[in-house]
Amino acid sequence: MKHYKNILLSTDLFSEISHLLVAKAIDLTQRYEAELSILHVAEYVPMLDPATIALDPFNLVGPDQIVFDAALQKLMELGEKLQIPDERLLFENGSAKEVIVRVASENSMDLIVIGTSERRGFGSLLGSTASNVIVNAPCDVLAVRMHEDV
């Protein structure tokens, strides 16, 4: 069995049951005496000023800035609670499917922990983000079913 040293937790920070995913990642880091990094990917499309979009894609305005700030604050609070250094708290803007794989690759992660929600039909197997990460990740992926009886 592989011994994981660097674990990447990708979480949305806002769902009511995201704490279950955090608990799973904490358990794995303790079992393997691994380092945990937490990634939040902001997937919303910001209302950018067309004149500055090419200069600064993070030039958020209005409600987008509020959402961005709230997510960043939640990430920092979680990091503080879990005593994770700031350099392992990662906040990215973009497509979660692509960002998670890229961040895992760039940071030499051994395992990605990601949540997947229940769906009906074929989609019930995995969410589209989770399935894309599993197929393209440079490392092992643990897809955790996100419902209260996990």
> For 24-58, what is each residue's pLDDT tens digit?
999 999 999 999 999 999 876 555 555 544 445 55
Query: Where residue 150 falls among pLDDT bands split at 50, 70, 90?
Result: very low
Domain ranges, ordered by start, for the chain = 6-145
The pLDDT, as a whole number, for residue 45 is 53
pLDDT band at 121 (very low <50, low <70, confident <90, very high): very low
According to the CATH classification, is domain 6-145 in 3.40.50.620? yes
Whole-Å CA distances, 61 to 33, 49, 95, 138: 41, 8, 20, 35
Q: How much is the pTM?
A: 0.81
Which pLDDT tens digit goes with each residue over 62-72? 566 777 788 88
